[in-house]
């Protein structure tokens, strides 16, 4: 499994699936979630509503993942996952790692060969960027044996210079 960093807007990634840092409602939001729904059009929200009705009446729990169409995006699928809100007094790293892990399992299940991730939880949800990058890189690497037969290329997409520096430092270490 190839693991690379390509800074920029994830909605422009030429991959089979892009991961959305969503919230449990799956009804859209700000940050990368807003950008994905804007760029992909209404078909994504329509499938999110179906997911809520059919599989997640109480919302998608943090650490889990579910795929919809990519709508008008170049990517065929959007894999929606929910990261944890950062909390100083509680270690929620396992939930953040789970968001990466379950997204990769969903990618394998739908047959996506290439997947792009944003820095889950590192925006509105407040996770410190260096630690978010560490968990991203470690967790994706740890999944190579399990999903690498299908998912051959994983792209980490930091947005902004600080994020890019954090991700490059982790990949180099």
Active site residues: 33
* Backbone angles phi and psi of 62, in degrees to 5: -55, 140
Helices (H), 11-158: 31-40, 42-54, 93-110, 129-142, 144-147
**Residues between 77 and 96 that touch ligand AR6 (CB under 6 A):** 83
Q: At what angle do helices 129-142 and 93-110 cross, to 10 degrees?
A: 40
Least separation in angstroms between CB 23 and ligand AR6: 3
Q: Could you tell me which residues come within 8 angstroms of residue 62 by beta carbon, excluding any fewer than 6 positions away?
A: 24, 82, 83, 84, 92, 95, 98, 99
Task: Name which of residues 7 to 66 contact ligand AR6 (CB under 6 A).
Answer: 9-11, 21-23, 29-33, 35
Taking CB under 6 A as the criterion, the residue among 68, 103, 121, 170 binding ligand AR6 is 121
What is the rounded CA–CA span in Å between residue 136 and residue 99? 9
The nearer residue to ligand AR6, 100 or 125, going by C-beta atoms, is 125
Q: Strands of 9-54 (E only): list them.
A: 17-22
- Please report how close the Cβ of residue 145 comes to ligand AR6 at its closest, in angstroms: 27
Alpha-carbon distance of 157 to 173, in angstroms, equals 18
Sign of the CA dihedral with 35 first, then 121, 59, and 54 last: positive
Choose one: 40-48, 53-61, 104-112, 115-123; the region binding ligand AR6 (CB under 6 A). 115-123
Q: Which stretch binds ligand AR6 (CB under 6 A): 3-11, 45-53, 105-113, 136-144?
A: 3-11
Q: For the segment 127-166, give every residue that binds ligand AR6 (CB under 6 A).
A: 157, 159-160, 163
Q: Does 118 bind ligand AR6 (CB under 6 A)?
A: yes
Contacting residues toward ligand AR6, per CB under 6 A: 9-11, 21-23, 29-33, 35, 83, 118-125, 157, 159-160, 163
């Amino acid at each position: 499994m190839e693991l690379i960093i390509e800074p920029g807007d994830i909605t422009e990634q030429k991959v089979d699936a892009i991961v959305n840092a969503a919230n449990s409602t799956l009804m859209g939001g700000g940050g990368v979630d807003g950008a994905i729904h804007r760029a992909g059009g209404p078909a994504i929200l329509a499938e999110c509503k179906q997911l809520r009705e059919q599989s997640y009446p109480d919302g998608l729990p943090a650490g889990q993942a579910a795929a919809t169409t990519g709508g008008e995006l170049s990517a065929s699928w959007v894999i929606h996952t929910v990261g944890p809100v950062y909390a100083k007094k509680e270690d929620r790293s396992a939930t953040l790692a789970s968001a990466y892990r379950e997204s990769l399992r969903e990618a394998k299940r739908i047959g996506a060969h290439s997947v792009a991730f944003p820095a889950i939880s590192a925006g509105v949800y407040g996770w410190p960027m260096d630690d978010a990058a560490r968990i991203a890189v470690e967790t994706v690497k740890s999944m190579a044996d399990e999903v690498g037969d299908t998912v051959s290329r994983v792209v980490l997409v930091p947005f902004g210079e600080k994020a890019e520096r954090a991700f490059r430092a982790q990949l180099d270490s």
